[in-house]
Chain A
Amino acid sequence: MFAERVRRAGEPPLSPGTLPAPSLTPGQGLWLLAAAAVTLAPHTAYFPPWLSGLCTLLLGWRAWLSWQRQPPPHRLLLLALTLASAVGVRYAFGHFFGKDPGVALLALLLCLKLLEIRRARDIRSAVLLCFFMQLAIFFEDQSLPVAALAVCGTWLAIVALLALADPNAGHRAQLRTGALLLGHGMPFMLMLFLLFPRVQGPLWGLPADAASARSGLSDTMSPGSISDLGESPEIAFRAEFTGPLPEPAARYWRGPVLTQFDGRTWRTSSSPESATPSYTPAGRRFDYRMTLEPHNQRWLLALDFPGPAAAALRFSSANQALLPRALQSRSRFELSAWPDTPTGLHESTVVLAAALTLPDGYNPRSRELAARLTAGGGSDAAVLERVIAHLRGSDLTYTLRPPLLGRHSVDEFLFDVRRGFCEHFASAFTVLMRAAGVPARVVAGYQGGEVNPIDGNLVVRQSDAHAWTEVWLAGRGWVRVDPTALAAPQRIAAGLAAALPEGEALPLMMRQDLGWLRDLRHRWDALSNAWNQRVLGYNPDRQRELLARLGFARTDWTMLVGLLSGITVALLGALLAWASWQRRARDPLERNWQAFCSRMARAGHPRAPWEGPMDYGLRLAAALPQQADALLEITTTYARLRYGAARERADIRALKRQMDELELR
């Protein structure tokens, strides 16, 4: 249908010698402009500002020309503009070869193309450029809104082609036809999506994407480094538990373990890795599936404490689960956690010695305090109890906006400002423990998470980033102590928002009073998670699973190609059958009449194209006197049904019967 329409319109009748008037009708201009705008809109997030501005200006110019019914600008002007924008792109990106300058150039060319449209061919190439740009956005972003925008853009571009083919059709009809054509393409798209041989890794992931910086935990911690993340609503990972969820106080997702302290910054120290953990998992077990957003690090952020898993994991001697290489794309892991597992029962003396070192010349008041607290003697556990009791009694405030600290950061936090975020608490507590002679280390990671009521997944955001302390006690191994809980027990039990003091400004999404907004965010999260899992996460393994479930065990490419072509033929056949059924179903009366006329034509009495039914009937009756009555009856009935006021289905059936009963001799 579409091809037919396009062919019918063809090129506008322009003689080559004359300078043609602007052949863009307002309707065509509108659709093209809309298609280009919708296509370029998501790109602007990745363009340098001057480029977005230039594109907007050019599109605005096009709109103004259409509005004023002005001819397109002079070719020389456009040539100069094209050269200038090419120079701009070269200057901004430093080179022409690569994805980013290529996409930028194409965007500019699309805008300029719209300005030089003079004939049908130009419209077609602009639409093709639109299609290309809709693909190009997936290099940058494959989220649901971008995909939806791309579908809208494709729709508008198709409507622009329809407006070219039939400029006089109504806008609504064109939109409907465009949607119908898109609908025709849907089954083919689904089939190709499901069956086209998949490549490992994200289809659009280019090497350039991988190196880009991402926010998240780092392998160092200094005052302020985690509270920076505190306001970020970005999702770090999602966890889908197959059984019950662990209680909030057990939701510690382990990140880097920080043992080296230089007086201000905590760092990881290199620790040997092995294929199995150094502990034996014991106690309660929780199974879950984790969808980890790419963070360009090796750590898995598994729930304490992970056991052996299907994925090829490594375990550091500090009990951290690691991936073989840094995570560059969103990935899923099937994991289990044993939160009650004792760890480090037989820790090496080297590790314990490292967990006791403090740099000299920092935090003298804290060391003095530690000395006072250990003066009473007793076991490490007793010292631990005394330090905890002291901290609990020293009126520390938990805040998302801690004041800046100077050289002796722990001293200032404990004795002067008394306000801090989790890293202050963890750092201070660890320093105190070390000063008191108890091995201790800082663990960074995430704590808590929010259960999405829509799909039941636990969503952990960057704002859930946390730091806590592990203390080594003889006979008990590493014991987790969360000093933040001493000042703000709500942080562990109910999350960051509940733990912050009254009056502290919260990021919009964390406000407890905006229930509808949170609900909206939950729904959106569930939707994008489904999109990530089902669409973006459709990898070769899942394709194999699907095909196996459909009964195709052998999944090499010949099988896929065979399946693809088979289904394509079947779909095309179904579409054709549907189209012909539509035509037939349109008017049974007309169908019967056409059949009758064809039959009479085969009998040697064709109906003249202009001949009315009654005249035809009279002529037939004169030619075939034996059937004259029946023929007149048929033609009269048809004329009455077609041109009369009332038309009953039964009448049409009766007419059909009459026609069937007619015998020609």
Chain B
Amino acid sequence: MPDRHADRLLEAAARIILGKERELRLAFACLIARGHLLVEDLPGVGKTTLAHVFARLLGLQFQRIQFTSDLLPADIVGVSVFDRETSLFRFHPGPLFAQLILADEINRATPKTQSALLEAMEERQVTADGRTLTLPTPFFVIATQNPANQIGTFPLPESQLDRFLMRIHLGYPGRAAERALLMGEDRRRLLERQNPVLSIDELRALQHAAQDVTVADALIDYVQALLAATRADTALAAGLSPRAGLALIAAARAWALIEGRDHVLPEDVQTVFPHVAGHRLHLAGDARGLPPASLQRLLQSVALR
């Protein structure tokens, strides 16, 4: 049962990241939908741990890239080095060649480096020295962004934000969860002892199963009504694109699968909608993403027939 796999993984992850079941589910849904995840939050709330948890529990090759303003594309993609013995250039793969990448503080890098990463995310391959190199599968990028301290950063343009299937906020843990965190063992050491609970094949099975989740005509009607509502809303700079609609359905399918259903409900769409649409929409005359309250208002403006 593929949905059992999901439960198993989420239970194990919840033991390590306390009080963040919903965010973990969203992140896992993003992974199952073969999308990339943007985590936006203050430092120290467990963004990095989230990436570690998925890498460990799924047994994925993990690479962390700390983005800085002097990071060059070659630093992440890799470089060709001249080999004196063979008189040939040999390509040394960069940290991008891993199954799970944590791109920390992605907005600190220059647009050139950002776009090298984003291009790899979209194409799932890189081109170096005229050769096309396929990236490993699964290929999953968790990028983090610090929204508070924006001095000296290069905010991702809208077109690049579109490459992320979902954006989530972690936020401060609840009181009980924080207490357990403070009293408990160090999370990293806990993680090191943890064995993978899901094989890569099982993850692939989940990804396939998600594609088979039924999307009824009535649900398509609802998604279209949602898209139309974003396009009709004059307060927004622009409505959602058809690609955003596809992303919405893919995310909703993965969410439904995690919930153990073989069909998508409007509730699934409503759950993932703020995370799929939030970074793709912004108010006219305001470059920042849409606040959650506006997203909820938007959802409530669309009647479900």
User: What distance in Å separates the Cβ of B24 from its nearest Cβ neighbour in chain A?
Assistant: 21
Bound complex: CA A611 to CA B265 (Å):
11
* The residue from A608, A612, A640 contacting B267, defined by CB atoms under 8 A apart: A612
Q: A642-B216, A642-B218, A644-B214 are in contact. Are A610 and B302 (CB under 8 A)?
A: yes
User: Chain A contacts of B216 at CB under 8 A?
Assistant: 642-645
Closest to A639 in B: B265
User: What distance in Å separates the Cβ of B295 from its nearest Cβ neighbour in chain A?
Assistant: 13
In the complex, A613 has a CB within 8 A of chain B: yes
Closest to A611 in B: B304
Q: State whether A614 touches B267 (Cβ < 8 A).
A: yes
Q: State whether B299 touches A612 (Cβ < 8 A).
A: no
Question: Within residues 223 to 271 of chain B, which ones have a CB less than 8 A from any CB in chain A?
Answer: 262-267, 270
In the complex, B176 has a CB within 8 A of chain A: no
Closest to B302 in A: A610
Q: State whether A612 touches B262 (Cβ < 8 A).
A: no
Bound complex: CA A615 to CA B267 (Å):
7
* The residue from B214, B263, B266 contacting A612, defined by CB atoms under 8 A apart: B266
In the complex, A609 has a CB within 8 A of chain B: yes
Bound complex: CA A152 to CA B78 (Å):
73
Bound complex: CA A304 to CA B301 (Å):
87
Closest to B214 in A: A645
Q: State whether B303 touches A610 (Cβ < 8 A).
A: yes
* B residues lining the A interface (CB < 8 Å): 214, 216, 218-219, 262-267, 270, 299-304
Bound complex: CA A60 to CA B301 (Å):
49
Q: A644-B262, A645-B262 are in contact. Are A609 and B218 (CB under 8 A)?
A: no
* The residue from A609, A610, A643 contacting B219, defined by CB atoms under 8 A apart: A643
Bound complex: CA A615 to CA B262 (Å):
18
Bound complex: CA A645 to CA B217 (Å):
10
Closest to B263 in A: A644
Bound complex: CA A640 to CA B219 (Å):
12
Q: State whether A612 touches B270 (Cβ < 8 A).
A: yes
Bound complex: CA A614 to CA B300 (Å):
16
* The residue from A609, A640, A645 contacting B304, defined by CB atoms under 8 A apart: A609
Q: State whether B263 touches A610 (Cβ < 8 A).
A: no
Point out which of A611, A615, A643 has the most chain B C-beta atoms below 10 A from its C-beta. A643
Q: State whether A610 touches B301 (Cβ < 8 A).
A: yes
List 3 tightest A-B contacts by C-beta distance, closest first. Answer: A609-B303, A612-B266, A612-B267
User: What distance in Å separates the Cβ of A508 from its nearest Cβ neighbour in chain B?
Assistant: 58
User: Chain A contacts of B300 at CB under 8 A?
Assistant: 608, 610
Q: Assuming A610-B270, A643-B216, what are 11 further A-B pairs, CB within 8 angstroms?
A: A609-B303, A610-B300, A610-B303, A610-B304, A611-B304, A612-B267, A612-B270, A612-B304, A613-B265, A613-B266, A614-B267
* A residues lining the B interface (CB < 8 Å): 608-615, 639-640, 642-645
User: Chain A contacts of B265 at CB under 8 A?
Assistant: 612-614, 639, 643
Point out which of A609, A612, A640 has the most chain B C-beta atoms below 10 A from its C-beta. A612
Bound complex: CA A257 to CA B288 (Å):
106
Closest to B225 in A: A610
User: Chain A contacts of B218 at CB under 8 A?
Assistant: 642-643
Bound complex: CA A195 to CA B270 (Å):
60
* The residue from B263, B270, B302 contacting A643, defined by CB atoms under 8 A apart: B263
User: Chain B contacts of A639 at CB under 8 A?
Assistant: 265
Bound complex: CA A645 to CA B215 (Å):
8
User: What distance in Å separates the Cβ of A638 from its nearest Cβ neighbour in chain B?
Assistant: 10
User: Chain B contacts of A611 at CB under 8 A?
Assistant: 304
Closest to B267 in A: A612
What are 8 residue pairs bridging A and B, where the CB atoms are less than 8 Å apart in the complex? A609-B304, A610-B270, A610-B302, A612-B267, A613-B265, A643-B214, A644-B214, A644-B262
Bound complex: CA A423 to CA B158 (Å):
98
User: What distance in Å separates the Cβ of B10 from its nearest Cβ neighbour in chain A?
Assistant: 19
User: What distance in Å separates the Cβ of B234 from its nearest Cβ neighbour in chain A?
Assistant: 16
User: What distance in Å separates the Cβ of B257 from its nearest Cβ neighbour in chain A?
Assistant: 14
Bound complex: CA A642 to CA B304 (Å):
12
User: Chain A contacts of B270 at CB under 8 A?
Assistant: 610, 612, 615
Bound complex: CA A598 to CA B221 (Å):
22
User: What distance in Å separates the Cβ of B215 from its nearest Cβ neighbour in chain A?
Assistant: 8
Bound complex: CA A611 to CA B302 (Å):
9
Closest to A594 in B: B305
Point out which of A610, A615, A645 has the most chain B C-beta atoms below 10 A from its C-beta. A610
User: Chain B contacts of A612 at CB under 8 A?
Assistant: 265-267, 270, 304
User: What distance in Å separates the Cβ of B245 from its nearest Cβ neighbour in chain A?
Assistant: 17
Closest to A642 in B: B218
User: Chain A contacts of B301 at CB under 8 A?
Assistant: 610
Bound complex: CA A653 to CA B232 (Å):
39
Q: State whether B262 touches A643 (Cβ < 8 A).
A: no
Bound complex: CA A482 to CA B19 (Å):
118
Bound complex: CA A15 to CA B166 (Å):
44
Closest to A614 in B: B267
User: Chain B contacts of A644 at CB under 8 A?
Assistant: 214, 216, 262-263
Q: State whether A643 touches B299 (Cβ < 8 A).
A: no
Bound complex: CA A645 to CA B219 (Å):
12
User: Chain B contacts of A645 at CB under 8 A?
Assistant: 214, 216, 262-263
User: Chain A contacts of B264 at CB under 8 A?
Assistant: 643
User: Chain A contacts of B267 at CB under 8 A?
Assistant: 612-615
Bound complex: CA A611 to CA B304 (Å):
7
Bound complex: CA A461 to CA B1 (Å):
86
User: What distance in Å separates the Cβ of A539 from its nearest Cβ neighbour in chain B?
Assistant: 55
